[in-house]
């Protein structure tokens, strides 16, 4: 599965105690991990399930100027590669980066679930596509 530059991989990554607690309470966990890609990328299917991951792709492709601006932001994060992830950046950093490239995409949000109902992004559920769990960069 190929994803476009500017796409964001959203994941739910919680320990088993938190998962059990939310299952008992019959509540959904929020997305807490992300990776935004600045270059074309392919997701590879391996043996295993990935029910807790979705890809948010921009409906309108990023222009060369927007990609250059996004690359500048990602390069300043001191993370290796052509992506920005929740390992080195906060959710606020992600929304700031997106709003720097495309102003007024998100307003005052600190929740990754904001991508699910945003008019500028298309959501692809990886569980519906196939069992995706690895990426090549």
Tens of pLDDT, residue by residue, the chain (137 residues): 788 888 999 988 899 999 999 999 999 999 999 988 888 887 765 445 556 788 999 999 999 999 999 888 887 766 666 677 888 888 888 898 899 999 988 988 888 989 998 999 999 887 666 544 455 54
Burial 104-117 (b: 16+ CB within 10 A, else e): ebbeeeeebebbee
Q: How far is CA 101 from the centre of its chain?
A: 16
pLDDT at 65: 93
| Residue range 78-110, pLDDT digits in tens | 666 667 788 888 888 889 889 999 998 898 888
Q: How many domains does the chain have?
A: 1
pLDDT at 39: 85
The pTM for the full model equals: 0.81
pLDDT at 50: 56
Q: Give yes or no for a contact between 120 and 105, defined as CB atoms under 8 angstroms apart.
A: yes
**Range(s) of the domain holding residue 64:** 2-136
pLDDT at 92: 87
pLDDT at 49: 55
* Partners of residue 10 on adjacent β-strands: 34, 54
Q: Give yes or no for a contact between 101 and 66, defined as CB atoms under 8 angstroms apart.
A: yes
**Which of these, 57, 74, 48, lies nearest to 116 by C-alpha position?**
57
């Amino acid at each position: 599965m190929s994803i476009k530059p500017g796409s964001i991989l959203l994941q739910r990554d919680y320990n088993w105690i938190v998962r059990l607690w939310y299952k008992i309470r019959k509540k959904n966990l929020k997305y807490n991990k992300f990776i935004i890609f600045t270059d074309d990328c392919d997701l590879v299917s391996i043996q295993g399930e990935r029910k807790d991951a979705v890809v948010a792709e921009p409906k309108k492709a990023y222009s060369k100027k927007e990609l250059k601006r996004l690359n500048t932001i990602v390069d300043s994060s001191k993370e290796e590669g052509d992506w920005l992830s929740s390992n080195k950046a906060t959710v606020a950093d992600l929304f700031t980066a997106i709003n720097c490239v495309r102003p007024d995409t998100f307003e005052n949000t600190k929740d990754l679930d904001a991508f699910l109902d945003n008019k500028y992004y298309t959501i692809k559920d990886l569980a519906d596509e196939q069992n995706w769990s690895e990426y090549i960069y």
